[in-house]
Amino acid sequence: MSELRVVGRTSDGERIELADSEGNSFTVKIDESLKNAMAERKLVAVSEEAPTFSIKEIQARLRAGESFAEVARISGLSMNKIERYASPIMQERAWVIEQAEKSSPKGTSLPLRELVVQRLAPRGVNMNQISWNTWRLDNGSWHLVLSYPSSDGNREATWSFDLNKRTFISQDDGAKWICGEEITKHPTKQDRMSDHGVLYLHGMTSCSEEVRRKMATRSLKSSE
């Protein structure tokens, strides 16, 4: 059977002109049967490209902290489509971080944002280099992670944050240290050599002017 290629429509627009490898010409009338065959092919193509997950399922995975690459691999969708679906979820996660920073952990009147500055700035941490991340857990709370530079690379502090109640549960010693809570585990030799407070030797040199002013003002108020 010879393979034919499409040349185009005939001048009257009622037929499709075809040609074989030897240059012989053929025509096919554009009737309902041809139109139906083409429509069926389009439906098959759309079905093959349809996502295996619904948009809701994709967004639920992103809300739970899965990366764009992971969701793209599992769903079979392109990164461009994942990014399109991700936009409202990324905005939601950023909003949750903002609410957490404004909320005060139990036992302190200061919001978490100020506690972080109070703990890290005097130890020379550049506050422009800290980062936050959060994702929702199965129980409805949010896993909140603070990352900041240290003399040995990077440290983290993690909390479980209840958005409705605006309450925190410290998940590690880093979070307990930030909030001024008692660290109950027996310290190891490594802990004693480099606790969460020993970050830099150059004091405030890497800290922004704004943070320095805040800390200086807070110190003056305390001395009064």
Q: What is the mean pLDDT of residues 26-43?
A: 70
Question: Would you state the pLDDT for residue 204?
Answer: 30
How far the first Cα of the chain sits from its last, in Å, is: 98
Q: Is the pTM of this model over 0.75?
A: no
Question: Would you state the pLDDT for residue 19?
Answer: 77
Q: What is the mean pLDDT of residues 163-188?
A: 87
Say which residue, 201 or 91, is predicted with more confidence: 91
Question: Would you state the pLDDT for residue 221?
Answer: 45
Q: Which amino acid is at 81?
A: K
Tell me how long the chain is: 224
* Average pLDDT value over all residues in the chain: 79
pLDDT higher than 50, residue 210: no
pLDDT higher than 70, residue 79: yes
pLDDT higher than 80, residue 219: no
**Is 112 in contact with 100 (CB distance < 8 Å)?**
yes
User: What confidence tens digit (pLDDT) does each residue in 138-175 have?
Assistant: 999 999 999 999 888 889 999 999 999 999 999 999 99
Say which residue, 189 or 78, is predicted with more confidence: 78
Q: What is the mean pLDDT of residues 90-103?
A: 97
pLDDT higher than 70, residue 94: yes
d(CA 7, CA 202): 75
pLDDT higher than 60, residue 211: no
